[in-house]
């Protein structure tokens, strides 16, 4: 007899009632994930450095019936992220999901980029991930209910690129750190995985989506799926890795590249 429980099969992608903390919530991916989680019935705490933008998101989401709250903080500052986790618990009683969507880059080659600017990239894209994951993991361990840590990395974590010496290093380090972190936290039933996207549409990347541009045409040479990423393409994987359907998956770096890694 095939042993698949009906209740599990029907609800394995559900995050309804879960409490999720999303960093980088004012960005394109963080905002999309926050809204998607909210639409699915999760209680969403959004954090970013811009208070005004956070308040605007809170008003927009609440107008659509999404249960949410916001707190300003810098993900690279330990005290800020501890405060964000404490705020989530104070507001909703616990923390079940952390989804990391913040990031920073300043593309320059090694001959042009100062050590200080390189360090800023490492702090924003690597140290900050450790900081917020540690704060969330400590809370999840104390709750003794398991949890999900979903971290946005990059397709560039596995592939170098001219001018991306800092960014590629930070994302490569992020992938390996997450694999190690997954091993640390597995005994506590906390799953830790990354999503590794290529270019997704945002205010910062909109110029790259011009089908007549050389940049767009060059990208398509390495994208078997035939287009760049839209935020809708991201939220499904972010939900899957936050849901019971991914309970057996940890330490993974999940391709969200439209096939870029495949060719």
Query: pLDDT tens digits, residue range 162-172?
Result: 889 999 999 99
What's the pLDDT score for residue 119? Answer: 96
What's the pLDDT score for residue 90? Answer: 98
What's the pLDDT score for residue 178? Answer: 97
Segment (H or E) for 196: strand 190-197
Tokens of 191: 């799953």
Tens digit of pLDDT for each residue in 227-248? 888 889 999 999 999 999 999 9
What's the pLDDT score for residue 34? Answer: 98
- What is the Cα–Cα distance from 98 to 230, expressed in whole angstroms? 22
Among candidate residues 78, 75, 85, 97, the one with its CA nearest the CA of residue 23 = 75
Top mean-pLDDT range of 4-13, 64-73, 193-202: 64-73
- Label residue 259 by pLDDT band (50, 70, 90): confident
Q: Is the pLDDT of residue 91 over 90?
A: yes
What's the pLDDT score for residue 163? Answer: 87
What's the pLDDT score for residue 206? Answer: 83
Tens digit of pLDDT for each residue in 171-224? 999 999 999 999 999 999 999 999 999 888 888 788 778 888 888 888 888 888
Rg (CA), the chain: 18
Find the mean pLDDT for residues 82-95.
98
Pairing of strands 253-256, 190-197: parallel
What's the pLDDT score for residue 51? Answer: 97
What's the pLDDT score for residue 144? Answer: 98
Catalytic residue at 167? Answer: yes
Find the mean pLDDT for residues 104-133.
95
- What is the Cα–Cα distance from 116 to 112, expressed in whole angstroms? 12
Tens digit of pLDDT for each residue in 11-54? 899 999 999 999 999 999 999 999 999 999 999 999 999 999 99
pTM, full prediction: 0.94
Q: Is the pLDDT of residue 111 over 90?
A: yes
Q: Which stretches of 40-164 are DSSP H helices?
A: 51-63, 78-92, 115-122, 128-143
CATH number assigned to the domain with residue range 6-200+231-258, chosen from the 4 options 3.40.50.720, 3.40.718.10, 3.10.20.30, 3.40.190.10: 3.40.50.720
Q: Which of 167, 188, 216, 254 is catalytic?
A: 167
What's the pLDDT score for residue 183? Answer: 98
């Amino acid at each position: 007899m095939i042993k698949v429980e009906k209740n599990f099969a029907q609800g394995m992608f559900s995050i309804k009632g879960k409490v999720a903390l999303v960093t980088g919530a004012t960005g394109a991916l963080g905002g999309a994930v926050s809204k998607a989680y909210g639409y699915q019935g999760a209680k969403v705490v959004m954090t970013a450095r811009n208070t005004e933008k956070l308040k605007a998101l809170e008003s927009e989401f609440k107008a659509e019936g999404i249960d949410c709250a916001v707190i300003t903080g810098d993900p690279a500052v330990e005290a800020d992220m501890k405060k964000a986790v404490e705020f989530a618990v104070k507001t909703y009683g616990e923390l079940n999901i952390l989804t990391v969507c913040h990031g920073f880059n300043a593309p320059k080659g090694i001959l042009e980029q100062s050590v200080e600017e390189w360090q800023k990239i490492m702090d924003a894209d690597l140290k900050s991930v450790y900081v917020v994951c540690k704060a969330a993991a400590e809370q999840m361990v104390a709750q003794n209910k398991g949890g999900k840590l979903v971290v946005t990395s990059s397709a560039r974590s596995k592939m170098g690129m001219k001018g991306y010496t800092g960014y590629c290093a930070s994302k490569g380090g992020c992938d390996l750190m997450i694999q190690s972190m997954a091993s640390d936290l597995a005994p506590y039933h906390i799953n830790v995985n990354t999503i590794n996207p290529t270019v997704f549409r945002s205010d910062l990347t909109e110029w790259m989506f011009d089908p007549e541009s050389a940049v767009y045409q060059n990208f398509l040479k390495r994208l078997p799926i035939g287009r760049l990423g839209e935020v809708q393409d991201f939220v499904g994987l972010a939900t899957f890795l936050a849901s019971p359907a991914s309970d057996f998956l940890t330490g993974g770096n999940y391709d969200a590249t439209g096939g870029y890694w495949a060719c």
